[in-house]
Amino acid sequence: MKMSDIPFVTTDWSTIPVEVHAGDSGEATWRVQHFGPEGNRIRVRMVEYSPGYVADHWCSKGHIILCLAGEMETRLDDGRVMPLKAGMSYQVADGAEAHRSSTATGATLFIVD
């Protein structure tokens, strides 16, 4: 990730439109901002997983994820399960371990990818 051509800006996340993404169960609501030039764009998201959310796909995209509230589990394609609670983060590169997230209780995440 190279961050370039991004002016200083603040984001009031409550003003960003909500996108709803259904999971295998539950849903994820995203508030999304894009920064930087085309081809080197960074996506920044505030994401809320509903209680009982299970992602509908295995993801191979790189992310930096900070859990702000609640907790979730991320299952890796090799069978490992990584818990993430409020105040914890994880980092994974593009094309590294495929992963799939779920939560029993719900979670609020700040994600950069």
**Digitized pLDDT (tens) for each residue of the chain, 113 residues in all:** 677 888 899 999 999 999 999 999 999 999 999 998 888 899 999 999 999 999 999 999 999 999 999 999 999 999 999 999 999 999 999 899 999 999 999 999 999 99
* Whether the model pTM is above 0.75: yes
Degrees to nearest 5, angle at CA 66 with 65 and 68: 140
Residue 73's alpha-carbon distances to 15, 29, 40, 77, 89, in angstroms, are 29, 17, 29, 13, 12
Rounded Cα gap, residues 97 and 71, in angstroms: 20
